[in-house]
Amino acid sequence: MKRELTPKMHYYGTPVVLISSLNPDGSTNLAPMSSVWWVGTTAMLGMSANSQTVANLTDRPEVVLNLVDGALVEAVDRLALLTGRVEVPQYKRVRGYRHAADKFAAAGLTPAEHPAGAPAPVAESLIQLHGRVRVIHEIDAEGSGLRALEVSIRSTHVEEDLLRPDHPTHIDPLRWDPMIMKFTEYFTGGRLAHPSSLADGWGMPPVGAPTDRAEPAQADRTAPTMVTEEAHSPLR
C-alpha cells in the first residue's frame, strides 16, 4: 500500500561530485553536490543560484567534475557546510554554513596540476571530467533560486587502476564504486558510510550509525597516473 507524500527533498540516490570552478581572483572553489546526471557527453547539474559555484560558472564557464568514492567521504563532509561566498546567505547561516576561502585546505585535499586560467582538479579523485558550461537554465517554481547547468564534457581522466585489463579503454564497473547521496546521507557499497553534517544542517531525521561500512578497493592516491579519453569517445 502506498502513501502520498510531499518529501522535503527528492534525493533518492545520486553520485556525489566535487565541482571545481574559478573564483574571480583565479583561485579554485571546490563544492560538493549530488544533483547530477549524464547523457551522451553532457552533464546536467542542479544547484542554487546563490552558490559561489553558480556565480563562478556564469562568468567563467570552465569546470571540473571530480567524481568521488568512499575513500573521500570524510573530506566531502568537511566541505558540506562550507561556502565560497564571503557573504553567507541567511538561509545557509541558520543551517550552520560558514565561509571558507581555501576549500582544498579545509577538506584536506590536494589540487592537481592544471593549466593556467583553469580550475584545479582534485588529485585524490579517481575520475575527473573536464568541461565547459554551455547554458544555465532557471528551473522549478518562480523565485525558487534553482538553476540547471548544462555542461559539455570535453575530456575524461581516469585512474588506470579502474580500467579493465582486457579492455583498457573501458572503466571496470566492478572496480568503480561511486559515493551515493540519499536524502543527505552518504552511502558506499549500498551501506551508510559516514555521519552527515549536511543532514544535521537541513534538519533531517537521524538514521542508524555507520557501523558496517563498505570497504571498496582503493587505488594509490599518492601519485595518480591518469589516462585520457576525449569526450567524443564515450566510456562504455
pLDDT digits (tens, 9 = 90+) for 169-191: 999 999 999 999 999 999 999 99
Interatomic CA distance for residues 22 and 38, integer angstroms: 22
Answer yes or no: are the C-beta atoms of 21 and 63 closer than 8 Å.
yes
Locus of grid cell 576561502: 101
pLDDT digits (tens, 9 = 90+) for 23-51: 999 999 999 999 999 999 999 999 999 99
Q: How far is CA 232 from CA 17, 42, 129, 152, 224, in A?
A: 22, 11, 13, 11, 24
Interatomic CA distance for residues 140 and 162, integer angstroms: 37
* Homologous superfamily assigned to 14-230: Electron Transport, Fmn-binding Protein; Chain A (2.30.110.10)
What is the pTM for the complete model shown?
0.85
Residue spans of the domains in the chain: they are 14-230
**Alpha helical stretches, state H, the chain:** 52-59, 73-79, 90-93, 103-107, 197-201
